[in-house]
Structure 1
Amino acid sequence: MIFSRLSVLPVLAGVASAINITASASGGNASSPLAYGLMFEDINHSGEGGIYAELIQNRAFQGNREYASTLTPWKAIGSSVLTLQNTSIPLSSALPTSVNVRASSNGTPHDSTGTIGISNPGWWGISVQPQTYTGSFWVLGSYTGNFTASLVSATSGTIFASVEIPSNSTAREWTEFSFSLNPLTAAPDVNNNFVIAFDSGTSLNFNLISLFPPTYNDRPNGNRPELMKALIDLNPSFFRIPGGNNIEGDTFGYRWAWNETIGPLKDRPGRPGMNLGIPKWCTDLDVEPILGVWSGFYLNGDVTNPDVVPEADLQPYVDDAMNELEFLIGDTSTTYGALRASLGYPEPWKINYVEVGNEDNLGGGESSYISYRWPMFYNAIHAKYPDILVISSAQDLLSVGAPHTSGTDFHQYSRPDDFALQFEHFDHSNRSYPILLGEYAVIQPNANGAPVDWNAAKMDYGTWIGAVGEAIYLLGMERNGDIVFGASYAPGFQNINSFQWTPDLVTFSADPEKTVRSCSWHQLQLLSNNRYNATVPFTTTNSPPFGPAFYVIGVNNPGEYVFKATVYNTTEPIPFSINFEGVDAGATGILTVLNAPEGNSMNVYGGEDVVIKTVSNVTAGAGGKFEFELKEYDIAVFTT
């Protein structure tokens, strides 16, 4: 980001007719304490290969009924032969498949000499820095020699760190080994491998091979610090998790199953996201969880043939959601509260929000959601936990006949012009129930006023004009903070090496130094870090009051105002003259403005940050008026 700091004179020479605003001290809408938050969907390798700091790809050779176990990307070293096996003694029922490593010499492993082993390139690379890496692996087979664990350049063969690990493994029981690696210098790139080697005179099985760099807050099984920092810098207040299509799963048996995400890693079966420590995320981010529960709907159906659980078979899944809530918030006298305590968490967490499903109005799911799925989940949760806000995932709450003690999740993907046109969208919402803007993003460029086209390509990266369009929509949300209680951009993460959806909030690779914060990230950081307790009414000389400038005014303590504005679709700078009730001449304020060289500027992987940030001091002139001007595509916050 390009940054500068300026001083602005109290009075500017007129360039065009100023927008004159007089703001009251009170009388507006209360603002939601949540307002801006996060949504996590395990897409684009957001979790494994992303924020989850595990460096080893395919560490447990996991498969499931949809995807077979595989050796990819493991490679043999030396004369090794690698074979996937389901041994008579599995590591666990969740991880039955392991890799057998033996030497290739006439098919007989015991007459070979030298070193054999396995090598893993990580998730498209491993960043090697002078820091401590902690690792572990499990072995089945009799071996009394040493294992050598190392980090090695895949191009030059340079060994950056290596450690000898004495073995006492046996043929009838799995043995776990732990180790640390301490490189003294950084590797020049991420083209590095993790290697485990041992004497070739034996045949051994390996499973759950793990290597972690330092994690955020030094959490075991934790997250990448720089990606957590990208989230924390947004000042989020809530975390919608698990969110998106990941909760549904493609087919039967592939849904998000909460009880397979707890306990020791060796007891968690294969599925994206099963290893993430979600409750710890909420603690580290200091956010309110909005818990998603599976609603009996899979993704692989369509409008004419939806894949939903029949009403007669749904109750066990309702019970499963209730068990999850008991695990999270039940006291230790309950079955699942006691299970939580046994895992080291005696104190319950606080859950105030539960969302039933994800986009159940799509893919042919709406009819069953209206008729029985939503009522069954809602009635069960509301009866036992009346203080929890249960949220419908079907966009328009009224279409599912939900009681007013519930909320609705609204998703919006579109183009910049369309977002700008919807500045007043939430002004017209039914104010008898709360709304979550659970997903939003500009995903396509403008096209002569056309709405989003789901058959057309999406942008690779978010543009600055897209961020401005989103900002206009978000300011409209802020105007209605009494009913729209939160907004979260989606998706949050993208691994540049493997992804399914663009654009995204943060793009990354194995190299932490190359993480890219999008234009939308910068816009969101500015809006989220400048909040207020309530909006305030105002009068203006403009008619109509909005367009090409869009704005909202809020207040915290008396005299502490926040003015947020964007300028969209104008050829000249727009002068502003603002008078805040109770603020006199000579008072000072701070004007922060974001912009970019062009509307189509974007932050791309491997490129420079295009977002320009300018901070100015503004002094109130006669009558307590603050005067400044904003130009095309400015996103601005002014605070007194």
Structure 2
Amino acid sequence: MQSLLLIVGVLLFSCVDAINIYVLPEGGNDTSPLQYGLMFEDINHAGDGGLYAELIRNRAFQGSTVYPANLDGYEPVNGAVLSLKNLSNPLSSSMPSSLNVAKGVQNGIIGFANTGWWGIEVKPHNYAGSFYVKGDYDGDFSVSLQSITTGDVLATARVKARCGVHDWTEHRYNLRPTRQASDTNNTLSITFDTKDLKDESLDFNLISLFPPTWNNRPNGLRIDLVEALSELDAKFLRFPGGSDIEGLLSPYWYKWNETVGPLKDRMSRPSAWGYEESNGIGLIEYMNWCDDLGLEPILAVWDGHYLSGEVINEADLQPYIEDTLNQLEFLMGSVETTYGSWRASLGYPKPWKINYVEIGNEDNLYGGLDTYIAYRFKAYFDAITAKYPDITVMESLTGMPSPQRAASDYHQYTTPDGFVSQFSYFDQFPIDNRTLNGEVATVYPNNPSNSVAWGSPFPLYPWWIGSVAEAVFLIGEERNSPKIIGASYAPTFRNINSWAWSPTLIAFDADSSHTSLSTSWHVIKLLSRNRIAHNLPTTSSEGGIGPIYWVAGQGDKPESYLFKAAVYNSTGDMSVAVTFSGSRAKSATLTVLSSQDPNASNYPGGPEVVQTNVSSVVAKSEGVFQFTLPNLSVAVLTTE
């Protein structure tokens, strides 16, 4: 028992108001460099209408048998007649439908307006746009940002037509408003004069408008949302899913090769979450995101299983395995290889490095488990490791017999008490097969059965007691760091205008001032930005279980020590005394997160419910740092 306490390095106790904790100078273990990261899939309009900075909704009228093409987001201007056409010579095979704008009962200026993704934020900076046109017209186009609320034209540009009857021609424009709009109730309109129209109508497609993007990337990401992610100091990105890689049904699995190259050549696909997605954030955009934020890519690949339960037979699986190998060659191959050459032709001659590949997603669900164990995982594992022996190949679940060096992915959505009960969950996990906690979130309130009522509504936003419980679980994970790759909250984003899942780490709409950073975001930020590089064993003056949970160790800098703790359901304030036996530090910084209401949430337009208290703690005799932590708090002590 004594050796277990030293290895674990974390002690729990109940019904005490004070505790002395001694952090030993030797022993312990190095931690994972990827302790906290991000998980992303296009759910809740996290991509289209969210992180992907494109402001035009339904820009290319793409659809499928699941979500047919439509004119959502478009309105006629001055009596124009708008219709969806499938022309004999479309813009591309990926964009077969286009917008036809025809004269109505009146001549003059006509056109269309797009209302954006439930609004368009207009600020005094540059907007870059483009559109494709086909038809016989030799006048000018007028492109404008206009306020519906006030009627004011906020910016306008005139674009000389260069279109023809038989060919699609791209037109580019720039807009720079001189002031910020009063709200996001704005439109982008494109109009033209019928007197210069030689036929009855014009056809439009791939209508685009981008604000400034993160790192000024073309086809890039929304700045305020990336800023929120950047503050977390995350170390990995698991993408592109999630359930979204699986596909609702055949043949709509995630095809990586349809997400690269010019936008006009990118196929859309029906997402798993209720809408057609554009693949605007494609494989290269994901890798740019990793480069920009210093994230380790964890690439999830399709493995022959649909959400409908359909599974590819073993005899028919090889082409899909080859597709994954082609994807890896695209990312990592030299310019002399077939797919590395394709990457280079797109402007990326330097290969990326992939160290982690996850095979599928949650293959224990929807009838996938038997075939996953029987042949699917092994087939992918053998093929990938044969060609790329340094890649860590991950199972999409835990608990199955694993090949040596294979890792696993543990997902947990539970109650606050459920997370606290799993504080020691990873204590018995094998050290040879490391685990990613790829999806972690409190989704349901505490209840007598400590269970989640799947199918019933979940809370809209994370709430404080749930976030503290997540901290307890994550601290338990940190103490088992040699067994753990890292952890990520899921889902990350929710557009509050259209969503399929709550709660999420971040909620947003078209107005960047409404972006809401949840209680869980604050907890993860504190834990992630204060990284323990080497766990150290601890001893304590008390024994037992609850209500304080902690881990301690050395930081990245020489002579730096950290102590992380969460207090869950104590009877009062906790008096804590921490001694770092190997430290000569005389002072430390204590950061404590708390809230007045255990059920309080951050939400768009609401007050900040997380209280952050930062103070200096001076060491007493024999290097003891003494402080008090309130119930339902998360804290980090860092020596100086």
Report the TM range for the smaller structure's normalisation: over 0.9
Name 1:614's counterpart in structure 2: 613
Instruction: Report the count of equivalent residues.
Output: 610
1:251 is aligned to: 249
5 Å-filtered alignment, 1:576-615, equals 576-584=576-584, 587-615=586-614
Q: Describe the superposition over 1:451-472 as per-residue Cα deviations: whole angstroms up to 9, x where unpaired.
A: 2221332111110000000000
1:630 partnered with 2:638: no
Letter in 1 for 2:210: F
How do 1:335-350 and structure 2 match up within 5 A?
A: 335-350=338-353
Residues 559 and 581, structure 1, Cα contact 8 Å, conserved in 2: no
| Residues 29, 480 of structure 1: 8 Å contact kept | no
Q: CA deviation at 1:582?
A: 2.9
Identify the residue that residue 273 of structure 2 maps to in structure 1.
none
C-alpha distance in 1, partners of 2:570/2:499?
Answer: 36
Structure 2 residues not aligned, in runs of 5+:
1-14, 270-276
Aligned residue in 1 for 2:300: 292
Give the partner amino acid of 1:151. L
SS at match of 1:76: strand
Q: Secondary structure at the match of 2:489?
A: coil
For residues 571 and 406 of structure 2, what CA distance do their matches in structure 1 show? 45
Matched residues in 2 for 1:171 and 1:88: separation?
13
Matched, 1:132 2:135: no
Contact 1:56 1:209 (C-alpha < 8 Å) held by counterparts? yes
Task: Confirm or deny that 1:212 pairs with 2:210.
Answer: yes
- 1:261 and 1:539 map into 2 onto residues whose CA distance is 53
Contact 1:116/1:197 (8 A) holds in 2: yes
What is the CA distance between 1:129 and its match in structure 2? 0.8
Q: Could you tell me how far apart the structure 2 residues matched to 1:162 and 1:455 are?
A: 48
Residue deviations 1:129-163 (CA, integer Å, cap 9, x gap): 11111100000012110000001112332100111
Equivalent of 2:392, from 389, 392, 395? 389
Q: Structure 2 vs 1, CA of residues 185 and 17 (structure 1 numbering), >3 Å: closer, same or farther?
A: closer
Please state if 1:194 is matched with 2:188: yes
Partner of 1:228: 226
Give the residue type in structure 1 aligned to 2:214. Answer: Y
Aligned-pair CA distance for 1:449: 4.8
Which structure 2 residues correspond to residues 317-328 of structure 1 after superposition, within 5 A?
Answer: 317-328=320-331
2:486 aligns with 486
Match of 1:7 in 2: none
The one-letter amino acid of 1:296's match is G
Partner of 1:5: none
The answer as to 2:301 corresponding to 1:275 is: no
Quote the offset at 1:168 in angstroms.
Answer: 1.9
SS in structure 2 of the partner of residue 36 of structure 1 = coil
Q: Name 1:444's counterpart in structure 2.
A: 444
Q: 1:51-62 residue pairs with structure 2 within 5 A?
A: 51-62=51-62
Query: How far is the alpha carbon of 1:484 from its aligned partner?
Result: 0.7
Q: Are the equivalent residues in 2 in contact too, given 1:151–1:194 (CA < 8 A)?
A: yes
Q: CA deviation at 1:574?
A: 0.9
Report the Cα distance in structure 2 between the residues aligned to 1:143 and 1:639, rounded to whole angstroms.
Answer: 68
Classify 1:427/1:637 alpha carbon distance in 2 versus 1 (closer, same or farther; 3 Å).
Answer: same
Identify the residue that residue 178 of structure 2 maps to in structure 1. 184
Residue 287 of structure 1 deviates from its aligned partner by: 0.3
Check conservation: 1:464, 1:596, Cα contact below 8 A: yes
Q: Quote how far apart the aligned CAs of 1:280 are.
A: 1.0
Distance (whole Å) between structure 1 residues aligned to residue 326 and residue 524 of structure 2: 36
The one-letter code of the counterpart of 2:95 is L
1:88 aligns with 2:88: yes
CA–CA separation in structure 1 for the residues paired with 2:360 and 2:149: 47
Distance in 2 separating the partners of 1:386 and 1:65: 40
CA deviation profile, 1:481-527 (whole Å, cap 9, x unmatched) = 10111101000000000000000000000000110000000000000
SS at match of 1:488: strand
Q: Secondary structure of the residue that 1:494 maps to in structure 2?
A: strand
**Which amino acid in the other structure matches residue 280 of structure 2?**
N
* 1:563-605, Cα deviation, whole Å (9 max, x unpaired): 0001111121111111111334x70000000011111011012
- Partner letter of residue 187 of structure 2? N
Partner of 2:11: none
**Contact 2:594–2:630 (CA<8 Å) still a contact in 1?**
no
Q: Quote the offset at 1:363 in angstroms.
A: 1.0
Contact 2:109 2:193 in 1 (8 A): yes
Measured in 2, the distance between the counterparts of 1:590 and 1:156 equals 50
**What residue number does 1:114 align with?**
108
Deviations 1:261-310 (A, max 9, x none): 1000000012325111211111111100000100111112xxxxx31111
State the Cα RMSD in Å: 1.3
TM-score, with structure 2 as normaliser: 0.94
Q: Which residue of 2 aligns with 1:569?
A: 569
TM-score by length of 1: 0.94
Question: 1:77-117 CA distances to partner (integer Å, 9 max, x unpaired)?
Answer: 11211111111221111111111111123xxxxxx521110
Q: Distance in 1 between matches of 2:152 and 2:317?
A: 57
For 2:554, the equivalent position in structure 1 comes to 555
Residue 148 of structure 1: aligned partner: 142
Partner-residue secondary structure (3-state), 1:45: coil
3-state SS in 2 of match to 1:412:
strand
Residue among 289, 307, 311 paired with 2:310: 307
Structure 1 position 17, deviation (Å): 4.8
Equivalent pair of 2:121/2:510 in contact (CA under 8 Å): yes
Secondary structure of 1:565's aligned partner: strand
Letter in 2 for 1:540: S
Aligned partners of 2:25 and 2:580 also within 8 Å: yes
Q: Is 1:29–1:479's contact at 8 Å kept on the other side of the alignment?
A: no
2:342 maps to a residue whose letter is L
Tell me which moved more, 151-160 or 140-149: 151-160
Which has the larger displacement, 461-470 or 449-458? 449-458
Cα distance, 1:558 vs. partner? 4.9
Q: Deviations over 1:362-416 (max 9, x none)?
A: 11100011111111111100100010000000222xx2x3212110000000000
Alpha-carbon separation, structure 1, partners of 2:559 and 2:203: 69
Which residue of the partner structure matches residue 372 of structure 1? 375
2:546 and 2:209 map into 1 onto residues whose CA distance is 53
Aligned residue identity for 2:341: A
Contact 1:289 1:351 in 2 (8 A): yes
Residue aligning to 1:525: 525
Pairs within 5 Å for 1:169-180? 169-180=163-174
Tell me if 1:334 matches 2:359: no
Q: Which amino acid aligns with 1:275?
A: G
1:157-168 → structure 2 map (5 Å cutoff): 157-168=151-162
CA distance in 2, matches of 1:618, 1:394: 43
Separation in structure 1 between the aligned mates of residue 578 and residue 73 of structure 2, nearest angstrom:
61
Counterpart-to-counterpart distance in 1, 2:258 and 2:583: 57
